[in-house]
Amino acid sequence: MNDPWGISGPDFVVLYIALLGAVLLVRVIVSGIVAARAMRSDQAHAGPPPTVYQLAFLAGGPDRATDAAIAALVERGQLRVNSYKQISKTGTRPVDPLERAVFDVAKLKTTAMIRAKVRASAAMRALEEGLDQRGLLASAAAKRQSRTFGLVLQLAVLAFGVVRLVNGISLGRPVGVLVFLVLVAAVLAIVAAVRRSKTGARQPSAAGHRLLGQARAAASGPVPAGMLAGGVLLGGAAAAVALGGWAMYPDEELSAALTPPMGSFGGGGSSGSSGSSCSSGSSCSSSSSCSSGSSCGGGGCGGGGCGG
């Protein structure tokens, strides 16, 4: 038998395809097990009642927390939105760390641009660490370990294919199909490496989901605005955005102006919304009126061979 490694080319191709499929299956299973174990953190550590920004982070990650801070500052008149959907500071610097981080970068920036700048801020890291210390976020270390394991498996299969490919070429065997499969393995390894390098938004643990559910249930109940329910201040625009996103902002015009376009990654244009908008140089306040005596019009601000 002159077949390399005692395996014919067609048999190796079948084996390699099976290995690629098995590794993908193992990665999915391991990822699911790790996610389930991370989510099983059911006990929240003792601590003060969660802030509206902690709830926002649990509900939608750093971007939702940033949105809630923007909503609070606009409602209090410390930020304003002009007719080009740009946010700028107009009041005194706030005390809350996350609000300060938002306020400091609000220099004719869109919501998407402010999100991009605040994601890596010290205030956002402190907010995440506070939730992590209380057991309200799923383990990031466990997810990274599972992705590292998946990457190692993917690289091992790639190396196995490359060795067979080199051996087949040296023996002058047809390797067209194997070249294609090795390329597939290389792409899968690259994807696994990229996934490992990306942390992504932290997900709530079981305790975090429970706390978030309690806050939403309380907020939907007969609780007067501004009253405490479940240890959380439920009234105001910040709480509405924290739990429901910009769609829940109490002012429709400002909601439309502050909502980033779909697929926005921190950039964002400066064009106004369709329909009429505020006059040039004016800005929309939380009451949807324009400054400088003007008013908002129209309801809008804003190859052929085997494997060696």
The pLDDT value recorded for residue 206 is 82
Our measurement of the distance from residue 58's CA atom to the centroid of its chain's CA atoms, rounded to an integer in Å, reads 11
Is 224 exposed, middle or buried, given 0-12, 13-18 or 19+ CB atoms closer than 10 A? exposed
The pLDDT value recorded for residue 137 is 87
Classify strands 232-233 and 107-109 as parallel, antiparallel or unpaired: unpaired
Is 150 exposed, middle or buried, given 0-12, 13-18 or 19+ CB atoms closer than 10 A? buried
Instruction: For the beta carbon of residue 80, count every other beta carbon within 10 angstroms.
Output: 22
The model carries a pTM of 0.60
The pLDDT value recorded for residue 161 is 94
How confident is residue 47, by pLDDT bands cut at 50, 70 and 90? low
Cβ neighbours of residue 278 closer than 8 Å, sequence gap 6 or more: 82, 83, 272, 284, 290, 294, 296, 297, 301, 302
The pLDDT value recorded for residue 40 is 56
At residue 187, does pLDDT exceed 60?
yes
Residue in this structure with the two tokens 């625009």, named with its chain if needed: 237
Amino acid at 138: A
* Domain assignments of the chain as residue spans, ordered by start: 4-40+139-197, 52-137+203-284
Mean pLDDT, the chain, rounded, equals 78
The pLDDT value recorded for residue 43 is 55
The pLDDT value recorded for residue 233 is 52
Decide which of 282 and 126 is more confident.
126
At residue 188, does pLDDT exceed 90?
yes
22-34: average pLDDT: 86
Decide which of 42 and 296 is more confident.
42
Q: In 3D, which of 34, 32, 33, 64 has the Cα closest to residue 212?
A: 64
Lowest model confidence (mean pLDDT) among 18-22, 47-51, 76-80, 114-118: 47-51
